[in-house]
Amino acid sequence: MKNEYRTKARSLIIEYLKGHSGKRFTAKEIFDAVKDDENTVSRTTIYRNLERLCDQGNLVKFKEPNQDSWFYQYSDTYQHCNTHMHAQCAVCGRIFHLEDVFLDGFAKKMKLVYGFDMDPSKSLIIGQCESCRRKAGKKIRNVDVEQ
């Protein structure tokens, strides 16, 4: 078992991700965000820490259509991710954790009708969340007030 050290770089990354929990970022965005006039965290370190956080289960790593780079999203509740399904808002990128009970009926039907054994933890529902739908209604000249 490896001992884990608390370093400046790692703290900066985790702080940033935690501070924006629920939003998704590319490695590049995190690199830019963590850097300021005095300090910089190398890309290598960013990648290595992101990978570690994924392994530890605090980070979700996923792709979006037509995007070259991976997205990372911090989630305190991700520990349970191997057991349940997620929905992601196509607008703001937030990931929602769906209750298992909610899925039971669907999974059963999938099995019955298609003979398909679904793996909820790997499946992803895409759509628009409530708050983004509300915002969309308030859009002025097709420009977002905030993202």
The interface region with DNA, picked from 4-12, 17-25, 83-91, 135-143 by CB under 7 A, is 4-12
Q: How many residues are present in the chain?
A: 147
Q: Which residues contact residue 69 at a Cβ distance below 8 angstroms, ignoring those fewer than 6 apart?
A: 26, 27, 28
Partnered with residue 88 across adjacent β-strands are 95, 126
Using CA atoms of 93, 94, 99, 102 in order, give the dihedral in degrees to the nearest 10.
-40
Quick one: which of 7, 18, 127, 144 contacts a copy of itself (CB under 8 A)?
A: 127
Shortest Å, Cβ 6 to DNA: 4
Question: Quick check: 42 binds DNA (CB under 7 A)?
Answer: yes
Going residue by residue from 62 to 91, which x/- string records binding to DNA, judged by CB under 7 A? Answer: ------xxx---------------------
8 interacts with, out of DNA, a copy of itself, none, CB within 5 to 8 A per kind: DNA
CB of 18 to DNA, least distance (A): 16
128 Rama class: left (phi>0) / alpha (psi -120 to 50) / beta: beta
3-class DSSP assignment, residue 135: helix
Rounded alpha-carbon distances, angstroms, from residue 95 to 46, 87, 92: 22, 6, 9
Contact between 96 and a copy of itself (CB under 8 A)?
yes
- In the chain, the amino acid numbered 39 is N
Q: Residue numbers of the site for a copy of itself (CB under 8 A)? A: 61-63, 65-66, 87, 89-90, 96, 98-99, 102, 105-106, 109-110, 113-119, 122-130, 133
- The contact set with DNA (CB under 7 A) reads 2-10, 26-28, 40-45, 47-49, 51, 68-70
